[in-house]
A and B are shown apart, each in its own frame.
Chain A
């Protein structure tokens, strides 16, 4: 099977679109939690082909977007320590913290290096024994297992100059927080695909059970999303609320047990600050005491000072699904991908970047 082109076939898309249009009678609002889904929806123009009965809203599933300025400032403070090499995924470079960004610090001489995996960061630590390598652990359940594995490897090889700034976040607790806040009424949730590859579909069951909201786990190709919407519509029309998987090639109900065990060994749940949402209990991952000598926050004395927010930026409201980028006075004017004000315009998975790059409602 061809795993990309098969899931972009126009004839199959046409069939799914007509099925959705035919079946959808009841007005319904669906949230795609994941920023990757937001990108697919805009890149292929999926909102344009859905019937007027269906409204789509974007959720908080962009790890960089939801990282609070206070946490970004910690990363930026670490980068300013001499002898520290910051190893990070590329998207983080451009994100503005309260006062500056890693990209600007890099231009001023800070040692900030882009890596594509934690093993690269670990190798960097081995090759630079006189320096300290700090990996910026930003991401959801998808990336946390590989970061856990890197810490275990570092322990195993007795690498003492490798650290992780753990800003990892967990998805199910934040969805509960958004639903409990009651600001946005949902009739269906497109559950994140990659996160579910790790955690499985079981952790979403409370949403269907306690909140009566249909849930379908989706992949990232246009046909995955259309299939997922068709399944949500079917549930809405029949008055069902269950957890289903439209991404069988990537997700099993029980998830990836090996990855979960790795995560469990190294991390424990703790409170985390989400941009726009605030502190959510047990929605972050803290490095366990046993491995705390790898914890960058404990190893370095950093005090970035009080965080500040850019004036006029509504990233927080957008992340809660309460507002859209079109509601923002800065959007496309003071805030563009070239000169981003808020993180949702920086990250490739951010809603504002998706609206801007692909043109909403063309």
Chain B
């Protein structure tokens, strides 16, 4: 890649430097015939039920333990599709770059996007690049869209939870939020913790193989587990009761939360999912989850009931009960 070591405004101008950036860096890295045609749209043959999603990524800092904004963008979009039971296929990727971003950093992020896309089995088929004045963006923002196909017979929605269902969680909570936070300016603390950022479509595939009757799937990203459970309880008009002792939290996350005054239930995850399944399918889904790398620490954390619809209640470690409400405000801005 020529044109100096930093991204300049002209890299987003649509001129020669822009073409060079697109062709030498993006097209080469994301190598696939749909993108390589460089038409205004990617043209794709399709049949079946489509899932279509979009998201924007503004995480700060753009590199964090266990990932970076590129990996996050791919995983986040793939996971949004997977949580509807869709098989993710194609992604779009738009980069909004603050002038002055070192080209070496962009290269690292592009490579990371490619690795994540490869692992998830998705193709980046269209994209865009804009460069903005210093201060108009913070290093790099990425906007994505994703398309997937929902297999026949799969009906997954946050409104499908039914009294008697069980609530499964794929692993310990809070790793992503705390890992990002540990690298924040003015807050840096030393931890071995890594973000859980990961594509979960493989895990979902195996869960669906174990049971075609999974009612709800959701990834507890911003707002954490607490907010996700509340969303599903409200959508399904049921109450969800979880047990504090059964919700896994790593010691490092607990310690950081104590230090900073956070509750792990509200900390973001980027590679975890919550599944609500019929009681009779619990064992086989849990077993399938534990066989997958991204679900090996999966656990049964609670159940769905009919009373107090819309409410999430937790049995605390001392045997009392308390409400788990949605997150108010945003204690950790820009974690994704």
Taking Cβ atoms with an 8 Å cutoff, the residues of A that contact B are 2-5, 8-10, 13-14, 17, 42-46, 48-49, 90, 94, 115-117, 120, 222, 226, 336-338, 348, 356-359, 362
Q: Is the interface of B mostly helix, strand, loop or mixed?
A: loop
> Could you say which of B187, B318, B331 contacts A45, with CB atoms under 8 Å apart?
B318
Interface size class of B (residues with CB under 8 A): 20 to 34
Nearest chain A residue, comparing its CB with the CB of B184: A116
Q: Is the CB of B245 within 8 A of A10?
A: yes
**A4 with B255: in contact, given A115-B186, A337-B329 (CB under 8 Å)?**
yes
Q: How far is the CA of A10 from the CA of B186 in the complex (A)?
A: 36
> With a CB–CB cut-off of 8 A, which chain A residues contact B4?
none
Q: Is the CB of A45 within 8 A of B251?
A: no
**A222 with B316: in contact, given A4-B251, A94-B329, A362-B321 (CB under 8 Å)?**
yes
5 closest cross-chain pairs (CB), A and B: A45-B320, A359-B323, A13-B318, A48-B320, A337-B328
Q: How far is the CA of A112 from the CA of B260 in the complex (A)?
A: 20
Q: Is the CB of B322 within 8 A of A13?
A: no
Taking Cβ atoms with an 8 Å cutoff, the residues of B that contact A are 186-187, 245, 251, 254-255, 258, 260-261, 263, 313, 316-323, 325, 328-329, 331
**A14 with B321: in contact, given A4-B254, A5-B254, A338-B328 (CB under 8 Å)?**
no
> With a CB–CB cut-off of 8 A, which chain A residues contact B261?
348
Q: How far is the CA of A117 from the CA of B185 in the complex (A)?
A: 12
Q: How far is the CA of A360 from the CA of B237 in the complex (A)?
A: 22
> With a CB–CB cut-off of 8 A, which chain B residues contact A362?
313, 321-323
Q: Is the CB of B186 within 8 A of A44?
A: no
Nearest chain A residue, comparing its CB with the CB of B257: A4
Whole-angstrom distance from the CB of A332 to the nearest CB of chain B?
Answer: 11
Q: Is the CB of A44 within 8 A of B245?
A: no
Q: Is the CB of B186 within 8 A of A116?
A: yes
Q: How far is the CA of A207 from the CA of B317 in the complex (A)?
A: 33
Q: How far is the CA of A49 from the CA of B186 in the complex (A)?
A: 40
> With a CB–CB cut-off of 8 A, which chain A residues contact B187?
116
> With a CB–CB cut-off of 8 A, which chain A residues contact B251?
2, 4-5
Q: Is the CB of B329 within 8 A of A46?
A: no
Whole-angstrom distance from the CB of A40 to the nearest CB of chain B?
Answer: 10
Whole-angstrom distance from the CB of B98 to the nearest CB of chain A?
Answer: 20
Q: Is the CB of A46 within 8 A of B320?
A: yes
Nearest chain B residue, comparing its CB with the CB of A3: B255
Nearest chain B residue, comparing its CB with the CB of A339: B328
